[in-house]
Structure 1
């Protein structure tokens, strides 16, 4: 059985190859590299009843802050956010029948130095790595990868609860790749449907 790290590597390779046209075809560029509060990026690779996903977001969108937790309330916010991202699919079918089978959560910068957590359905393994940063005030970012499996086909439209759960995400840039091709869509506050059309 493949490990979460392999899932992550395969999706990253797929993202680099499959989403290249989307990222470079628009002169404004869909591929967000800048750390912009309120903006997040989601990549979705669909294959029948399974999908692999990458979410990239500034920590402020998910936590409301980017520094190391300063009190019990902020520590709880970090834990609750990581638990939600571990247990809840980043996208769902209209039947709401998808589950997370593998994935990882990686964040670096001001929140907890550098930290990675990998999980796999029924067999969870946690790996923590903390590194000192030479510069104070670094931006803090999350990267979440998931492999999800659903009882029904992942067809248009897909739903995401990201912007409901994390109102700090005001703009979600979505690149998708499936058997019918690839495309790009933009979601704004209050929107939760991802349409897999061209």
Structure 2
């Protein structure tokens, strides 16, 4: 297995492609989930309902949804990246949304009321008070989403994209089990590395003196 990894010239390009797909999906999820999470956490309206609804997205079978979207969105063109990113972004939205809402809801009401009494506007409260205090939880949500996406990005190889999932799909086709095992080890190692990086970021964004 390790000989295969060392001698395989496509490891680095596929690793870069895997990271690229994952980054695009997480970025799309952040653009969607972060503003909504900030609104729900600040107003605390319908937060439980929205979290329950988005949490149900985790039960959607990713491979089945990927296949369906590929058939529906291709329109005869070779555009597998679009449904791939959509499916991965759907997977990433619930943990980011939950982390953002939880981070803001955990802030004592007295802190927010003090800022409001000092003349802060609602948008200023979000930017200057809630966002910094909720940052560790928000980063934690993005961390969880990123690790999940990296592990699941292997399925995009099923619709013709590259990435580390190619070792699993191609290895299965020719029953090359060492190749499949090498691909699984690479994905796991990448997920662990990214998780450690986000763990460091999560500590760095923690406000000083916050217990």
TM-score between both structures, scaled by the size of structure 2: 0.29
Considering only CA atoms, is the larger Rg found in Structure 1 or Structure 2? 2
TM-score between both structures, scaled by the size of structure 1: 0.31
The answer to which structure has the higher strand fraction is 1
